[in-house]
Amino acid sequence: MIGDLVVLDVGAVAHGGHCVARLDELVVFVRHTLPGERVRARITEERKGYLRADAVEILQASPDRVEPPCFYAGPGACGGCDFQHATPAAQRLLKADVVTEQLARLGGLPDYPVEVEELPGGPLGWRTRVQYAVAPDGRLGFHPTRSSRVLPIAECLIAAPGVRESGVTERRWAGVDAVEVVAPSIGDVSILTRRGRGRPRVVAGPATVREQAAGRTWKLPAEAFWQVHPAAADTLVAAVLDMLQPQHGERAFDLYGGAGLFAAPLAEAVGITGSVVLVEADPSGTAGAAKALADLPQVSVVTNRVERALTELGEADIVVLDPPRSGAGAAVIEEIVATGARAVAYVACDPAALARDVKTFRSFRWELAGLRAFDAFPMTHHVECVALFRP
Ligand SMILES: C[S@@+](CC[C@H](N)C(=O)[O-])C[C@H]1O[C@@H](n2cnc3c(N)ncnc32)[C@H](O)[C@@H]1O
């Protein structure tokens, strides 16, 4: 069956950058298509109960379809962008539908209205951190969807100008598994290489990069986490502060805090009579936080895993959490609930993980009191959400 061509009438979008169609009794997850289209698709994978396919010919196009701006977008090619063939406005509607669907299916909240807000800067040239894979011949590229093959890429259109101008794709790289380019908001670009799961090595540019957000400057190790879209840091900080409305004298937690993007404005808002505890597992993140927040004595920085640290932190009035894609999980949410906080802002880069965690909050009789979603990753299926929970 793999390799067969079939004609499919394409239905709703699903999480992961594909749409759902049916072939007899089977569900088919189809990439490179849009809801409402009729396509000729090639079956790429056969699984128990479902198939995967790539639309290779569009028989009836959606009005939202456009010619992908990127040469490498399309069936079997680069797996980095899922929605190059949709208008930016349609991409945001697709992502909104996915968040609504995930909240219904995994969070138990049917018909939750979601609007995905546009970030400034347009759909191309936004990615300030790009990790390239290295092909056997030393050229840089990206993996096609669900493949370990490396497709050599001369230029990536979603990469920020600093990344594209770094010239990394013009040379061959021997003896490394990945090359990462970091284009910070201030100063020169850094180039890092990785071997296996070892620590990255800075091979060009500064080892410490500077980022500007929330009215202050961070100096952090080039490999430390920072929001990838240049407008994301300020946008997320504004959304979190607006939802939590921190008050003078309050105690706040910034969990999965990285270099303290949320801890700094929270500390300014709670003032010197309040306190903020930042918890982050990666020492390169807390190294950045310790330097950037040195003028804020009300902040304490804890280098530890959230699930370990939370058991000893005691009570809080407000909590921000910004976990990795896997989400926070039930044990961490139970600890957050136990802090007695009046409000929690949850910054989520995976709507499925968020929806699972919504379900856990609701099991403790906490409500989802607000949700904003941002198109912080245009052209891809990814979407950033900020959710407000209250007991
Ligand atoms: C999405 S980033 C958010 C960082 C920060 N809030 C920001 O916006 O810059 C998630 C962070 O969680 C950290 N992390 C992952 N798992 C963790 C855990 N179990 N405990 C603490 N930190 C963790 C990562 O190192 C990363 O810095």
For ligand 1, whether the C-beta of 261 sits within 6 Å is yes
For ligand 1, whether the C-beta of 82 sits within 6 Å is no
| Confidence class for position 218, pLDDT limits 50, 70, 90 | very high
pLDDT at 189 over 90: yes
Q: If you take atom 7 of ligand 1, which residue's CA is the nearest one? A: 258
For ligand 1, whether the C-beta of 257 sits within 6 Å is yes
Q: What is the pLDDT of residues 131-173, one digit of tens each?
A: 999 999 999 999 999 999 999 999 999 999 999 999 999 999 9
Helix (H, G, I), strand (E, B) or coil at 88: helix
CB count, 10 Å around CB of 113? Answer: 9
State which of 219, 223, 256 you would mutate to test the pocket of ligand 1, scoring each by most atoms of that ligand within 8 A of its C-beta: 256
For ligand 1, whether the C-beta of 234 sits within 6 Å is no
Q: If you take atom 11 of ligand 1, which residue's CA is the nearest one? A: 256
pLDDT at 111 over 90: yes
Q: If you take atom 12 of ligand 1, which residue's CA is the nearest one? A: 256
Residue 114: the pLDDT is 98
Put the strands of the sheet holding 190-194 in their side by side order: 151-152, 140-142, 129-134, 178-182, 190-194, 201-204
| Single-letter residue type at 232 | A
Residues, the chain, total? 391
pLDDT at 7 over 90: yes
Q: What is the pLDDT of residues 305-348, one digit of tens each?
A: 999 999 999 999 999 999 999 999 999 999 999 999 999 999 99
Active site amino acids = 349
Contact call for residues 140 and 179 (beta carbons, < 8 A): yes
Q: What Å distances lie between residue 143 and 58, 80, 310, 335, 366, CA to CA? A: 24, 8, 37, 38, 40
Q: What's the rounded Cα separation, in Å, for the pair 256 and 322?
A: 5
Average pLDDT of the residues in 165-187:
97
Domain annotation for the chain: domains and CATH numbers: 5-65 (2.40.50.140), 100-121+227-390 (3.40.50.150), 129-210 (no CATH)
Q: Kindly state the percentage of the chain with pLDDT values over 90.
A: 97
Question: To the nearest whole number, what is the mean pLDDT of the chain?
Answer: 97
Residues 6+ apart with CB under 8 A from 380: 17, 80, 81, 82, 83, 158
From the CA of 285, give the closest atom in ligand 1. Answer: 27
From the CA of 282, give the closest atom in ligand 1. Answer: 25
Q: What is the pLDDT of residues 273-314, one digit of tens each?
A: 999 999 999 998 999 899 899 999 999 999 999 999 999 999
**C-alpha 141 – ligand 1 centre gap (Å):** 26
For ligand 1, whether the C-beta of 305 sits within 6 Å is yes
| Confidence class for position 197, pLDDT limits 50, 70, 90 | confident
Q: Of 314, 307, 316, 371, give the one whose Cα is nearest residue 343.
A: 316
**C-alpha 177 – ligand 1 centre gap (Å):** 24
For ligand 1, whether the C-beta of 285 sits within 6 Å is yes
**Annotated binding-site residue numbers:** 227, 256, 280, 322
Q: What is the pLDDT of residues 335-390, one digit of tens each?
A: 999 999 999 999 999 999 999 999 999 999 999 999 999 999 999 999 999 999 99
**C-alpha 321 – ligand 1 centre gap (Å):** 9
Q: What's the rounded Cα separation, in Å, for the pair 237 and 254?
A: 12
